[in-house]
Chain A
Amino acid sequence: MDATLTGNQAASAMAVARKPTGRLSDPIFVGVLWASGIFVLILLGLIIAMLFEGGLPALREFGIQFLWSTTWNPVTEKFGAGVMVFGTIFSAVIAVIIALPLSFGIAFFLTEIAPGPLRRPIGVAIQLLAAIPSIIYGMWGFFVIVPLMAAYVQPPLIDLLGPLPVIGALFQGPPLGAGMLTAGLIMAIMILPFITAMFVEVLESVPPMIKESAYGVGATTYEVYRNVSVPYGRTAMVGAVMLGLGRALGETMAVTFVIGNATRMSASLFAPGSTIASTIANEFPEAGPGSLKLQSLLELGFILFVISFIVLALSRLLVRSKLKG
């Protein structure tokens, strides 16, 4: 505050008298900038250190097996992250699989097909989707989507696909409504605006000359899309998808409402499961001080941190390698 004031005063003084009075204010200003930059690094470092240190006793107790053990038994105090890691990745991948084609469709429609008057309302609607708080999605999912899934989507799919060999395993179990697929569906809607916004940006950056040339040689809308727009922006699109995935990995409240919260491993899309974030949200308030459960939850948090970090690093790596090529 002081530094800014001094900076302002210095600026006005300079403007009036044109005297170099910034001798003191400038180092202060630069110092503040340095502090702001370093602050982020320290903050991030402290968070990682806290999660790691808090979860270390759990890792020591259960060994490296903690990462894939599928036991989560608060009674016997045997904990493992396997079910939650699986659920986190499984539900996030479902979300991306659902959101990706939709985002492509919306983005291309907005940039190429949509008539002018329709462009703005659709664009604003998508931005508004991003502004809806997570808990609202959770309530909507719980009271609207879950009953719909249980009544109209799951029973026919279970009857139709459940008995098939191999892929049948994805469609078995009672039609609970809540489960992996429902969680993925809700998250898909939540990450849709982010992926779409980036896609629109990418598609808009395709030089009109290239597209018009393609149209000029007789290419159809689909061919232009397939052979011009998408290849042009592929790298940034991969980045957008990865960012969406990263968001889905950490989504908490909406998922907790609709995933069914079972600490059992199941391959079925309809089976209830849990993610790292939902487990932490569920168990944290009742985890006793200094208990193994609390330490295991902190360790779970650390694992989520690492997974998110890997996804982010991967997306950057992909984008960079494409840029080089």
Chain B
Amino acid sequence: MKLTRILGAAALTLGLSSAAFAADITGAGATFPAPVYQAWAVAYKDKSGTGLNYQSIGSGAGQTQIFNRTVDFGASDAPVAGDKLAAQKLLQFPAVIGSVVAIVNLDGIAANQLNLTGPVLADIYLGKITKWNDPKIAALNKGSQLPDLAIVPVYRSDGSGTTFVFASYLSAVSPEWKSNVGAATSVQWPAGAGGKGNEGVAGTVKNTKGAIGYVEYIYASSNSLITTQLQNKAGKFVAPTVPSFQAAAANADWAGAKDFAASMIDTPGETTWPITSATFILLPKEPKSGPQAAEVIKFFDWAFKDGGSIAEKLHYIPLPADVANRVRDAWKTEVKFDGKPVWTN
């Protein structure tokens, strides 16, 4: 008897709560942009009353969920291939931009003191440059005294968009990397050791003298890690700063990119940071529910319009205004329910 009553009460509570969340939108996928999506969700709920339930379960799992249409939108760090998008009837658009930076553990080297070039970074990760006093590194750092110490390259052991972006950069600047290793969310690393997640890489670098690693800029800046300068396509050494990321976003070829998969890897420009990338949202072109898809679009429309300062506070780069407008055009023309656009501004 008592049990039935408890069960009844529980069912009632569940019923009530599901009613309260009926208008909420659900998303799943990439972990890298999860902090900004969650911060946006809180601010948007205050403004509109519509909540967002975002599960940061990884890009691959996010793709599975949206392919099965168990969520309203999926999120992926690496862009999804065009033929797959077409087959799954998905619209892909960028949501926010982030950067990957190199971090080191060397005595007497301060943040942004060490200069590296792309080819040197690739040779380090290929296991070809093995000592910090290698002439190739010394030539870039005339003022600094670099020790006779083994270089330990550290990478992400878990599959991640960060690795995809970093390996894409190494592929762009080193033909040998491109042919021997390539780029994906995880690759066959020729040298070094892996740590799980940003914290695993940062921790391994911190534990190991002479280690070099790569992490998302947000992680490096919020933990005051020792970052390095990198040479960009224009030949200038740049420090990883928000303006240098914005320059990368502004200089990317958005007009020529299919499915918004514009590369921000090694883009031209004097002040451009070379390892920058967008993270993407996957939205069904023929959603199961028109109003629900409209809610998703309204959320991102608001995020593009008013979410910029929140993103910047978390060290993400908001989309350039013209790119956001291109995305809005795509929403209007491509997302349809019963043949009618679900969102018309």
A285 pairs with B159, CB closer than 8 A: yes
CA distance A38 to B157 in the complex (A): 40
Of residues 74 to 97 in B, which have CB atoms within 8 Å of A's CB atoms? none
**Contact status of A262 and B208, CB under 8 A, knowing A75-B181, A142-B203, A257-B196:** no
Residue of A nearest to B62 (CB): A285
In the bound complex, residues from chain B placing their C-beta under 8 Å from that of A179 are 193
The B contact surface, by secondary structure, is: loop
Chain A residues with CB below 8 A from B150, complex form:
174
**B60 in contact with A71 (CB, 8 Å):** no
Q: Mark A89-121, 1 if CB is under 8 A from B, else 0.
A: 000000000000000000000000000000000
Q: Which residues of B contact A176 (CB under 8 A)?
A: 152, 193, 204, 208
Q: Is the CB of A261 within 8 A of B196?
A: yes
Interface-lining segment among B184-192, B259-267, B278-286: B184-192
Check if B188 sits within 8 Å of A286, measured CB to CB: no
Asked whether any CB of chain A lies closer than 8 Å to the CB of B290, the reply is no
| A-side interface size class | 35 or more
CB–CB B203/A286 < 8 A: no
How far, in whole Å, are A272 and B192 apart by their CA atoms in the complex? 8
By the criterion CB–CB under 8 Å, are A289 and B188 in contact?
no
Let me know if B194 and A75 touch, CB within 8 A: no
Whole-angstrom distance between the Cβ of B195 and the nearest chain A Cβ:
7
- Tell which of B152, B188, B190 touches A174, judged by Cβ atoms closer than 8 Å: B152
A282 to B160, CA, bound (A): 9
Task: Point out the residues of chain A lying under 8 angstroms from B58, CB to CB.
Answer: 284-286
The CA of A256 and the CA of B61, in the complex, are separated in Å by 20
- Measured in the bound complex, the distance between the Cα atoms of B204 and A257 in whole Å is 10
Name A178's contact: one of B57, B64, B204 (CB within 8 Å).
B204
**A141 CB to closest chain B CB, in angstroms?**
11
B182 at the interface (CB under 8 A from A): yes
Q: How many residues of B contact A (CB 8 A)?
A: 37
Contacts A75-B188, A174-B150 given; does A262 touch B158 at CB 8 Å:
no
Known: A282-B157, A288-B60. A74 touches B194 (CB 8 A): no
Are B203 and A143 interface neighbours, CB within 8 A? yes
- Say whether B63 faces chain A, with CB atoms less than 8 Å apart: yes
Closest Cβ of chain A to B17, distance in Å, is: 25
Contact of A73 among B159, B187, B192, B194 (CB under 8 A): B187
Interface string of A68-88 (1 = CB under 8 A from B): 000111111000000000000
**Cα of A154 to Cα of B200 in the assembled complex, Å:** 20
B345 interface contact, C-beta 8 A: no
* B59 at the A interface (CB under 8 A): yes
Interface centre among B183, B195, B207 (most CB of A within 10 A): B207
- Chain A residues with Cβ below 8 Å from B185 are 74, 286
CB of A287 within 8 A of CB of B159, answer yes
* Contact flag A288-B182 (CB < 8 Å), given A74-B187, A260-B194, A261-B196: no
B-side contacts of A281, CB under 8 Å: 158, 196
Q: Smallest CB–CB gap between B111 and chain A, Å?
A: 22
In whole angstroms, what is the CA distance A264 to B23 when docked? 49
8 contacts between A and B (CB under 8 A): A71-B188, A75-B187, A75-B188, A176-B208, A261-B196, A278-B157, A281-B196, A282-B157
